Structure 1
Amino acid sequence: MSEVHLVRQALRAVLSGQQRAAADHHRPAWHLAPPVGLMNDPNGFIHFNQRYVLCYQWNPLACAHGAKFWGQWSSDDLVNWRHEPLALAPSEPYESHGCYSGCAVDNQGELTVLYTGNVKFDDGSRTAWQCLATRDEHGEFHKHGPVLALPEGYTGHVRDPKVWQHDGLWYMVLGAQNLASEGKVLLFRSPDLHQWTSLGEIAGSHLNGLEAFGYMWECPDLFELDGSSVLVVCPQGLAAEARRWRNTFQSGYFCGTLDYPALQFRHGEFHELDHGFEFYAPQTCLSADGRRLLIGWMGIPDGDEFFQPTRDHGWMHIMTCPRELTLRDGRLVQQPARELQQLRRQEMHFTGSAQSLPALVIDSAELELTVSGSCELKFAGTLQLTVESEGLTLRRNNLRSGEPEERYWSGDVRTLRILCDRSSVEIFINEGEAVMSSRYFPSAEPQLRFYGAGQIGLRHWSLRQCVIE
């Protein structure tokens, strides 16, 4: 199908559906969401020429997972954004079933993206090409075609390139599945982004002390942070346990050391990045002042996403807020990007037992809490957070079955920072020691109510709407 035809169909979908989508009271005030259709993974996240660029997996033609396009936003402050020209449409034979996830790099002043061209065959098999495109001064991308074919010894599930430069050479990690259905991360090297040499497997099932650890590893991101190498990755196929790995697929990280001469990544144990109901496929970039920033998809593939009510309004899914990453005692710490404080408006203060606090409007709000003792927070009667001596429990009713479901975090709760945006809640625990991100779908004017005898010190800000041009 020609690119012109696909772009025309995308434009028609946006023009015919954006008014209905914008009228949905679940649509966020300041999180990023697609104008219409289904959005998932963040792609091509980079600070380039004094602006942040954020692309995203997008099916503008339906609220379904189909042949993915790349949409594109940019921002100079991580708060207010503008739509840029459609980045990629799946118009070529090597990407016939979708322009899948990838990354962006600054190649001597030229913004270059590498992404996976997904191809499915009539017999049910598939293959994948790693492809390259460059952006011109008008914000439009020009495709240069595949630069890496499917490596030998792996199924058609090889995707999601993340690329960086070290000592004048380019390196790339890819998520992969070998012929024994084991998840792996592959490492490649290139002098020019076009010719790539395989350097082997650096992480995955039966490597670095791991036993079997999932049948596919998606969306790898390898970067240096505070003197350590961090591999963020999404293993698929981990069996759920009583208090962890409760989502359909997981997103987490390993801390260690990437030894370039030995081509080895020595790492410790796997830690979940987010303990809530919806979080997947995060991607990071460096800010202009050297901070490591992360944005994730507030969704889960193959979960209960198609029971979300926004589908009836012609749009699905949002991004998380941008987060700053640091290391504390060998563990990742995530905190909302400091730029988000620009959204704050009126502030209120309260202190007392939880049950003495007033109900607070949380349509678009930020809360900072110091907590001592047990209490419960109920978000519009739809989502419930229980604080106890052993940790946190987040509860809601499953959209598909109506049955209660829970997510957990274990530890001593001292502080909570909660960001609310119409149909989402992000809970940052103990100055970013852990996070719980979740969608929920309350009434048009949701309130937060407090219960229990625990003592709470509270700051509450209403948040303004961001500008999306």
Structure 2
Amino acid sequence: MLDGVVKQSKYPLRYHITPLKGLLNDPNGLVQFKGAYHVFYQLNPYGTSHENKAWGHMVSKNMVDWERKAIALAPSEYYDKDGIYSGSAVVKEGVLYLFYTGNVIEADGTKRSYQCYAISEDGESFEKKGPLFPHPEGYTRHVRDPKVWYSEPEKKWFLVLGAQTDDLRGTAIWYASGDLLEWEFLGEIVDAKSAAYMWECPDVFELDDQWLFLISPQGFKPRGHQFQNIYHSVYVPATFKEGRFALTTDDMKELDWGFEFYAPQTFQADDGRRILYAWMGVMESDKEQAIPTIAEGWVHGLTIPRELRFEDNKLKQIPVEELKMLRQDSHSFTLSESWEFKSEKYAYEIEMRFEEEAAFEVSLKDSTKLSYQASERKLILERMNWLTNERETRMTYLEEPLTDLQIFLDGSSIEVFANEGSAVATARFFEEGPLVIHYQGELKGSAKVYELN
């Protein structure tokens, strides 16, 4: 819960990170520092438009109970006067380093970007140190979102940036450093064939003996049931040999098949887990400005924290174990018969275990539905578009029989995890009134509904 206080809203998010007011977007600077989890995030504290970007700041001991801190970084210097854009954080010799992109718009309209850093010894106050290196040649001003990590074999720090070449091709470039201060340009981190005109929020890490790239490409066209949103977030397996990365496939797989998931960032916790947060809000501007919470002075939130695992050649996202601390009363149901659950509360977790496949539908309130067509192994998420008042859907085809579902509901959000996190969907929905969960199907199995604090 945020500061022990629930935001007063018709469409509340109780256990997700949200702004008290203003607009939230990308998660930034995810790190565990001096025993506490720090989540920074893009924030316009003055309104619900994409302007005046600063870094909001939340701190927690358990990723469940969050304390809201003062804004960590705000526009103030020649290199970031028009916005503190996305970046990351690392810890070196007991000091917290924040890396970010400074956005600048000159008086003549020229736009520039600077890769900058700030430091903190206590995780509360931050001292800006300025730009790290000159803008690389051969790239437009669209170079941003520094992600930094340390490689023990090389005894070096590496920094990767999303970028756009002068011929408008999306890519990622990287740098190396021995001390986080002096950086050597290494060129493009991979040779990739991509139809995207920009790569945002690159992330590079090794997980379960497999190197992975996470990127948020812009410019993909829909491909079957995939890439249906305005922008996307994907992952690609890679190899790392002799100081060079290579993608093992050109097939970029979507991380999330729902409506709202973008700009994911990961970090490694002290216990070794790789944990991900993402922005639960990317959409067309007219749809964004029609979100009902804008009338309340705030918009968007982050996803729940998810532990990543790479198994059977696929990336899995699993709600972190700590979220079980939210559980209170539970209600059990049999899946071989229809059932309905009504409540004036709005924060719930649903666990479903299946003994065999069959068609079913779970509806929430009136218009939001999750259904499964067993003959095609197709999961379908349906909701009402709050701008057009028309129904819209997203879907995915499972590679294996459906064995389990875990669904997190939080007022106006739904996050679906199928087959132990092999297929994940995230969405917002805006329906007033009490929660009504209605199940109808022919499955053999059981369901448990947990009330969440």
Counterpart-to-counterpart distance in 1, 2:319 and 2:65 = 15
Can you list the C-alpha shifts for 1:378-397, whole angstroms capped at 9, x where unaligned?
A: 11112111111221111112
CA distance in 1, matches of 2:284, 2:168: 18
Does the Cα contact within 8 Å between 2:171 and 2:188 map onto a contact in 1? yes
Q: Kindly report which structure 2 residues correspond to 1:226-237, keeping only aligned pairs within 5 A, or say none.
A: 226-237=208-219
Aligned partner of 2:435 among 446, 450, 464: 446
Question: Are 1:374 and 2:359 counterparts?
Answer: yes
Q: Distance in 1 between matches of 2:183 and 2:159?
A: 9
Whole-Å Cα distance in 1 between the matches of residues 379 and 283 of structure 2?
25
Confirm whether residue 409 of structure 1 aligns to residue 396 of structure 2: yes
1:307 counterpart letter in structure 2: A
Q: Which runs of 5+ in 2 are unaligned?
A: none
Residue 11 (structure 1) aligns with = none
Give 3-state SS (helix, strand or coil) of 1:148's partner: coil
Question: Aligned residue for 2:131?
Answer: 146
Q: Give distance in 2, aligned partners of 1:99 and 1:343.
A: 33
Indicate if the aligned counterparts of 2:207 and 2:310 stay in contact, CA closer than 8 A: yes
Task: Quote the Cα distance in structure 2 between the aligned partners of 1:138 and 1:370.
Answer: 42
SS of the counterpart of 1:43? Answer: strand
Select the structure that is richer in helix.
1
State the Cα distance separating 1:26 from its structure 2 match: 1.4
Question: Mapping of 1:406-445 within 5 angstroms?
Answer: 406-411=393-398, 412-445=401-434
Task: Count residues with an aligned counterpart.
Answer: 438
Identity of aligned residues (%): 38
Map of 2:196 onto structure 1: 214
The CA deviation string for residues 428-449 of structure 1, in whole angstroms up to 9 with x for no partner, is 0011111101011122312111
Distance 1:218 1:34 in 2: 23
- Cross-structure match for 1:16: none
Matched to 1:333, the amino acid is: K
Deviation at 1:413, TM superposition (A): 2.3
Q: Deviations over 1:192-223 (max 9, x none)?
A: 212211111123xxx34x3x420000000101
Give how far 1:124 is off. Answer: 4.8
Counterpart secondary structure, 1:310: helix
CA contact (8 A) 2:386 2:430 kept: no
Letter in 2 for 1:169: K
Matched residue type, 1:449: H
Aligned pair in 2 of structure 1 residues 162, 287: CA closer, same or farther (>3 Å)? same
- Unaligned runs of 5+ residues in structure 1 are 1-18, 465-469
TM-score w.r.t. the length of structure 2 is 0.93
Distance in structure 2 (CA, Å) of the matches to 1:23 and 1:431: 33
Q: What is the Cα deviation at residue 302 of structure 1?
A: 3.5
How far off is 1:456 after superposition? Answer: 4.5
Residue 308 of structure 2 corresponds to residue 319 of structure 1: no
Answer whether contact 1:385 1:392 (CA < 8 A) is retained: yes
Q: Is 1:67–1:96's contact at 8 Å kept on the other side of the alignment? A: no
- 1:375 Cα deviation after fit: 1.2
Whole-angstrom CA distance in 1 between matches of 2:168 and 2:116: 24
- Residue 381 (structure 2) aligns with: 394
Superposition map of 1:214-363 within 5 A: 214-259=196-241, 261-268=242-249, 269-303=251-285, 304-354=287-337, 356-361=338-343, 363=346
Contact 1:26/1:444 (CA < 8 Å) preserved in 2?
no
- 1:168-212 CA-to-partner distances (Å, cap 9, x unmatched) read 211000000111111101111112212211111123xxx34x3x4
Partner of 1:13: none
Q: Deviations over 1:248-278 (max 9, x none)?
A: 000011111123x342333323111111100
Distance 2:120 2:310 in 1: 34
SS in 1 for 2:324: helix
The separation in 1 between residues aligned to 2:239 and 2:127, in whole angstroms, is: 36
1:73-122 CA distances to partner (integer Å, 9 max, x unpaired)? 11111110112232100111111221000000001110001100011245
Give the root-mean-square deviation of aligned CA atoms.
1.7
Mapped partners of 1:217, 1:301: distance in 2: 17
Q: Distance in 2 between matches of 1:456 and 1:379?
A: 20
Which of 35, 43, 49 aligns to 2:34? It is 49
Q: Does 1:458 align with 2:441?
A: no
1:286 Cα deviation after fit = 1.1
C-alpha change, 1:89 and 1:243, in structure 2 (3 Å) is: same
- Name the CA distance, whole Å, in 2 between partners of 1:456 and 1:80: 33
